[in-house]
Amino acid sequence: MVDVAKIVYYPEYFDLAHRFFEESLVEICGIGYPEMMDQKIGFPVVQTEAQHIAPLRYGDDIVCTLWVEKVGDKSCTWRYKFANQDGLLVWDARVITVCVDLDTFESMSIPSELADSLRACSED
């Protein structure tokens, strides 16, 4: 969604980030988002921080670089960098999620295999 200035409306960046998160889980963790939810594991967002560096304009392509900055016992810090088709950095964000049991919505330790996969998705 773009606003009247024909730039991406700021909440859309977080929607796009979540879509990249969902689509990247198979590559990062070897499990898709629907399968993770079938196992009653969720990662709701508990904290966000973002810098809007330059506007994304109508018709721009987005290149997302996504990695895991930190994995704790129950939480995970994700980093996102969005660039346009010319390589111009437009958005830089840090998103913290907490692992929860989807039946109770209580926080839980990240399962060890999942935590190992997340740790392997570093910026390097």
Q: Which region, left, alpha or beta, applies to residue 59 given φ > 0 means left and ψ of -120 to 50 means alpha?
A: left
Contact 50, 93 (CB under 8 A): yes
- Where are the domains positioned within the chain? 11-119
* Euclidean distance between CA atoms 16 and 14, whole angstroms: 5
Q: What's the predicted TM-score (pTM) here?
A: 0.90
Please tell me the CATH code under which domain 11-119 is placed.
Answer: 3.10.129.10
Judged by DSSP in three states, 79 sits in strand
Averaged confidence pLDDT in the chain: 94
The b-or-e profile of 89-103 (16+ CB within 10 A means b, else e) is ebbbbebbbbbbeee
* Euclidean distance between CA atoms 97 and 12, whole angstroms: 18
> What pLDDT, in 10s, does the model give residues 39-84?
999 999 999 999 999 999 989 999 999 999 999 999 999 999 999 9
Contact 103, 40 (CB under 8 A): yes
What tokens were used for 116? 């190992």
